[in-house]
Amino acid sequence: MSSEEIDTKTKILEASWRLLEAHQGQGVKMSDIAKEAGISRQAVYLHFASRIELMIATMNYVDEVKGLDARLAQLNNATSGTELLNACVEVWGNYIPEIYGLAKAMLMMRDTDEDMAAAWNSSMKCLRDVCQNAIEALYKEGKLTEGWSIKEATDMFMATISISQWEQLTMESGWSNEQYVDWTKFLLSRTFVR
């Protein structure tokens, strides 16, 4: 069996991931991935029907290895809504730099490919759930700023911690990740906590 030797499929996924991170999700061709994996370009298609499919598989693979779900699961220890909100920003905000290349590639393809859009949304689902928990906790504590519905507040929360927001503040404006996390926590607390 393939318990010791890494099977080709995994080699491709690793190569894809590595290149995506190295090039920040841009300009990574099927032939590059094949070369990186040490196989022929055509062989990639023996394992993945298309570029899109490979990208989605890479995303699932990274999800599995890095385990955002697991990281987020820990958060349910958080007692108060505020605490949960802050913890959420911290976990996600420190996760983004680890998966930025991949995420960027996904976001770019999402515009033109429905499957990718769906895959991305379902991958964001677990994050959204935690965000919503935080908002609901605030609400139950009577601490959610007046006027917000749960949905609206969760929408705004998600938008605020979106990859594009992170990209603009760190990559473009030159913020450190710590700055990003701290000010985002500040903005969210001020916005949602009464």
Partner DNA sequence: ATGTCAATTGACACAGTGTCAAGTGGCTTA
Partner DNA sequence: TAAGCCACTTGACACTGTGTCAATTGACAT
Site for DNA contains 145 (CB under 7 A): no
Q: Which of 10, 18, 24, 52 lies at the binding interface for DNA (CB under 7 A)?
A: 52
Instruction: Among 26, 42, 76, 176, indicate the residue that binds DNA (CB under 7 A).
Output: 42
Contact residue for its own copies among 52, 57, 91, 108 (CB under 8 A): 108
Based on the shown chain and the rule CB under 7 A, indicate whether residue 47 belongs to the binding site for DNA. yes
Q: According to CB under 8 A, which one of 73, 164, 176, 178 is a site residue for its own copies?
A: 164
> Which part of the chain contacts DNA (CB under 7 A), choosing from 43-51, 69-77, 97-105, 181-189?
43-51
Report what 126 binds from DNA, its own copies, none; CB cut-off 5-8 Å by kind.
none
Number of residues counted as binding DNA (CB under 7 A): 19
The answer to the question of residue 40 lying near DNA (CB under 7 A) is yes
DSSP string of the chain, one letter each residue: --SSSPPHHHHHHHHHHHHHHHTTTSS--HHHHHHHHTS-HHHHHHH-SSHHHHHHHHHHHHHHHH-HHHHHHHGGG--SHHHHHHHHHHHHHHHHHHHHHHHHHHHHHHTT-HHHHHHHHHHHHHHHHHHHHHHHHHHHTT-BPTT--HHHHHHHHHHHT-HHHHIIIIIIT---HHHHHHHHHHHHHHHHB-
Q: What is the CA radius of gyration of the chain?
A: 19
Print the binding letters for residues 2-31 with DNA: x by CB under 7 A, - otherwise: -----xx------------------x-xxx
Distance CA 193, CA 81 (A): 9
C-alpha 186, offset from chain centre: 21
- 194 lies in the site for its own copies, by CB under 8 A: no
Instruction: Give the total residue count for the chain.
Output: 194
Binding site for its own copies (CB under 8 A): 26-27, 104, 108, 111-112, 145, 147, 152, 155-156, 158-160, 162, 164-165, 168-169, 173, 175, 179, 183, 186-187, 190-191
- Which residues would be at the binding site for DNA (CB under 7 A)? 7-8, 27, 29-31, 38-43, 45-47, 49-52
